[in-house]
Structure 1
Amino acid sequence: MLTDKIKLGPRRLKVVADAGNGGAALYIEQFLQSLGDEVIPLFCEADGSFPNHHPDPVRRENLTQLTEIVQKHNADVGIAYDGDADRLGVVDDQGRIIWGDRLMVLFWREILAKHPAETALVEVKCSQALVDEITRLGGKPVFCKTGHSLIKAKMNELKLLFAGEMSGHMFFADELYGFDDAFYATGRLLRIVSNTERKLSELVSDIPIYHSTDETRIDCPDNRKFKVIEEIRKGALKEYPAITIDGVRIIYPEGWGLVRASNTQPVLVARCESTSSEGLEFIARDLKERILRAGVMDFTWE
């Protein structure tokens, strides 16, 4: 089914596939070879003890070996998978990580060219660069809650064609069935790259890279986390506009700061972004003070 739906362009690619010893290890080499790629396998032996690194491509430290192999072999792209292969992480030909929101820019450029004025769900953790690019392409960005089940339900309700998450879930309903299959998302990315002579690093070079923190997880008991968010929300709205569909995304003059309660763990999830380093310093400090005042233990930005 995948090879019927995905036909690559004339350029043959060299791809490093890091299965992280998870479920992708069973078939990723076979799949990529069937597309016509040259495959360099990395940790493609299924092993539930995960002897090399945890299979979570949203964590920078889990992409270290992939980055090294991409650069060593002058590969076109490196792709890492989570344990059950419904999320992917991407490293470009220069060994630089392309996080989920920047990856979605590439997919939206392809999709909005065919489906102008499509509504585009944007989860609250995503960069303003994604929002701005969707708008530039003629799409209609709408913020939504984090959570793959919530996003799929909203896509189905509104009959939307594509959405994604920072975490690497990508949901295609334009040419697939609306669920998050990292093998299919890989194929869509390789289709884009194989149909141009430009390198992946060049394809993303015009997407602004703002100053930002990584996603930071802060311990907070389940019976407290939503009360903490509500307290922060009330205080923030007295001083700044905010998006409150999922936690609080405070809109500062030079960027934004988000804190939300995890759907699955006793933690708060926070992230900040700014157009300047000074702006990021201010936003990170201000948001941290608000979180601490709400009674949360001290933490360090990642």
Structure 2
Amino acid sequence: MFVPAPEIFKAYDIRGIVDKTLTVEAVRAIGHALGSEAVARKQQAIAVGRDGRLSGPALAGALADGIRAAGVDVIDVGCVPTPLTYFAAYELGTNSCVSVTGSHNPPDYNGLKMVLGGQTLFGELIQALRQRIIDGNLVTAAIPGKLTQADVVPAYVSKILGDVKLSRPMKIVMDCGNGVAGAVAPELFKRMGCELVELFCEVDGNFPNHHPDPSKPENLADVIRALRDTDAEIGLAFDGDGDRLGVVTKDGEIIFPDRQLMLFAEDVLSRVPGGEIIYDVKCTRNLAGWITARGGKPTMWNTGHALVKAKLKETGAPLAGEMSGHVFFKERWYGFDDGLYTGARLLEIVSRHADANPVLKGLPDAVSTPELNIKMNEGEPFALVDKLKAEAKFEGAESILTIDGVRVEYADGFGLARPSNTTPVVVLRFEADNEAAIARIQADFRRAIEGVWPGVQLPF
């Protein structure tokens, strides 16, 4: 049996370079392992969707062949955003699904996001698939599973239209970045009552206009320009597979996801008094007080969509969100990350006001950096952060949180250093009440990091 390259088995998904580390043969083998695991979990069918990447059809076909070899049925839901593949698992009753997606990675990447029996596969569960292949622990059925097709887009659109209501018509800028959201989002938002200024809504796996990653400010330049040049009042941008959302105000301010979460938390807590709201370690420290003041229970958690989903399931929280743009509504929705649905809920809230701009700009803000990365060799980011935990002293720190890296809280801000689970970098983020405080906190981190890892190249 062909054994796929170890480096494609990531913490939250499978991801690699097409025809190099992620080949048709590798994906077929992973499909066979996934089908075998499905048999062990008594799962009879898996919904398979794919994003708009050029390699999608071949890889989705190989995945389906592998799954069916184990005797498990495959329902092909076609070229759809990742959240529609998750939706298909509910709508079609499979409880299991795989999205063939490279998310916001460059065009030559692709990957797999996997759910079996309602459980998102991550960490050891993903490594176990590779071990199955190595051990030859694979089910080969006498009769392969069936392959059928299903179109879940009408049911998905109807479900959202039945749930989310705008208080007034709105004109919005929508940038799909040539990602697969363009296949569904324009129709959905028009039917909700929006007039659209469409940017790059044609699905094109070459991504000819800009990278489909709204967490990077440079990728929102076209939205900012369109808001300036038209009478649209708000801008929405989706990532390559449609599970993350970027938001821009009329005057060009980017409302990062941790501030979006304040708006969502206030809305959800008005219907779920005392509800728990989960957010990752990269989020603003303004969130905890905001949630508490509205009667909610704030819970800071690890970064990673699969880890947040697991925590959501464990706690029964009605809402969770990550700084990267993944937002998970359990209240009124299914608890998976869905950029389209998140955009719909955002418009529902701001449409209650005559102008969206003051609502968004009125959310508490602070001086902050974007994500900064220390580029290192494989394995070194975890070693550096472990040394920080064990040896570093931070001057003036009020508390040090170590649930995911090292987050140091000061009276007037915080600094974070955590090892990425997907690339060999240490992710840094800083926030403070003013520029002087952020400079002081960065100096404290510089002293601490250089103290445990001399010669390291810092991005600040």
Q: TM-score range by the shorter chain?
A: over 0.9
Report the alpha carbon displacement of residue 113 of structure 1 after superposing the two structures with TM: 1.1
TM-score by length of 1: 0.95
Between the aligned partners of 1:204 and 1:81, the Cα distance in structure 2 is 18
Between the aligned partners of 1:237 and 1:113, the Cα distance in structure 2 is 42
Match of 1:217 in 2: 373
Between the aligned partners of 1:221 and 1:294, the Cα distance in structure 2 is 16
Between the aligned partners of 1:193 and 1:70, the Cα distance in structure 2 is 17
Match of 1:298 in 2: 457
Is the partner of 1:203 in helix, strand or coil? helix
> For 1:33-48, what aligned pairs fall within 5 Å after superposition?
33-48=190-205
| Equivalent position to 2:447, from 289, 292, 296 | 289
Report the alpha carbon displacement of residue 223 of structure 1 after superposing the two structures with TM: 1.6
Is the partner of 1:121 in helix, strand or coil? strand
Between the aligned partners of 1:35 and 1:141, the Cα distance in structure 2 is 32
| Equivalent position to 2:357, from 177, 187, 201 | 201
Report the alpha carbon displacement of residue 262 of structure 1 after superposing the two structures with TM: 0.6
Report the alpha carbon displacement of residue 18 of structure 1 after superposing the two structures with TM: 0.2
8 Å Cα contact 2:233-2:357 kept in structure 1: no
Is the partner of 2:270 in helix, strand or coil? helix
Match of 1:230 in 2: 386
8 Å Cα contact 1:13-1:76 kept in structure 2: yes
8 Å Cα contact 2:392-2:451 kept in structure 1: no
Deviations 1:4-54 (A, max 9, x none): 222221x11001110001111112211111101001100111111111110
> For 1:120-199, what aligned pairs fall within 5 Å after superposition?
120-197=277-354, 199=355
Between the aligned partners of 1:8 and 1:238, the Cα distance in structure 2 is 48
Between the aligned partners of 2:239 and 2:450, the Cα distance in structure 1 is 32
Change in 2 beyond 3 A, CA 1:183/1:78:
same
| Greater relative contact order (CA < 8 Å, ≥ 6 in sequence) | 1
Aligned AA (2:164): I
Report the alpha carbon displacement of residue 101 of structure 1 after superposing the two structures with TM: 0.4
Match of 1:86 in 2: 243
Between the aligned partners of 1:203 and 1:105, the Cα distance in structure 2 is 11
After superposition, the CA RMSD in angstroms is: 1.4
Between the aligned partners of 1:165 and 1:238, the Cα distance in structure 2 is 26
Match of 2:423 in 1: 265
Between the aligned partners of 1:181 and 1:132, the Cα distance in structure 2 is 26
Aligned AA (1:153): A
Deviations 1:158-214 (A, max 9, x none): 1111001111111000000000111111110111111222x2221133322211111
Report the alpha carbon displacement of residue 102 of structure 1 after superposing the two structures with TM: 0.4
8 Å Cα contact 1:213-1:272 kept in structure 2: yes
> For 1:249-260, what aligned pairs fall within 5 Å after superposition?
249-260=407-418
Q: When the two structures are aligned, how many residues end up with a matched partner?
A: 299
Match of 2:111 in 1: none
Report the alpha carbon displacement of residue 290 of structure 1 after superposing the two structures with TM: 2.1
Is the partner of 2:361 in helix, strand or coil? coil
Report the alpha carbon displacement of residue 140 of structure 1 after superposing the two structures with TM: 1.2
8 Å Cα contact 1:236-1:242 kept in structure 2: no
Aligned AA (2:414): W
Match of 2:209 in 1: 52
Between the aligned partners of 2:394 and 2:342, the Cα distance in structure 1 is 42
| Equivalent position to 1:117, from 261, 265, 274 | 274
8 Å Cα contact 1:162-1:172 kept in structure 2: yes
More deviation, 255-264/227-236: 227-236
| Equivalent position to 2:265, from 108, 131, 135 | 108
8 Å Cα contact 2:215-2:324 kept in structure 1: yes
Structure number with greater Rg is 2
Aligned AA (1:255): G
Is the partner of 1:292 in helix, strand or coil? helix
Give the fraction of aligned pairs with identical amino acids, expressed as a percent. Answer: 40
Aligned AA (1:288): R
Between the aligned partners of 2:306 and 2:378, the Cα distance in structure 1 is 20
Between the aligned partners of 2:352 and 2:431, the Cα distance in structure 1 is 33
8 Å Cα contact 1:57-1:89 kept in structure 2: yes
Report the alpha carbon displacement of residue 238 of structure 1 after superposing the two structures with TM: 6.6
8 Å Cα contact 1:220-1:266 kept in structure 2: yes
8 Å Cα contact 2:392-2:452 kept in structure 1: no
Report the alpha carbon displacement of residue 289 of structure 1 after superposing the two structures with TM: 2.8
Between the aligned partners of 1:32 and 1:151, the Cα distance in structure 2 is 27
Between the aligned partners of 2:267 and 2:441, the Cα distance in structure 1 is 33
Match of 2:127 in 1: none
Is the partner of 1:222 in helix, strand or coil? coil
Aligned AA (1:204): L
Match of 2:93 in 1: none
Aligned AA (1:249): R
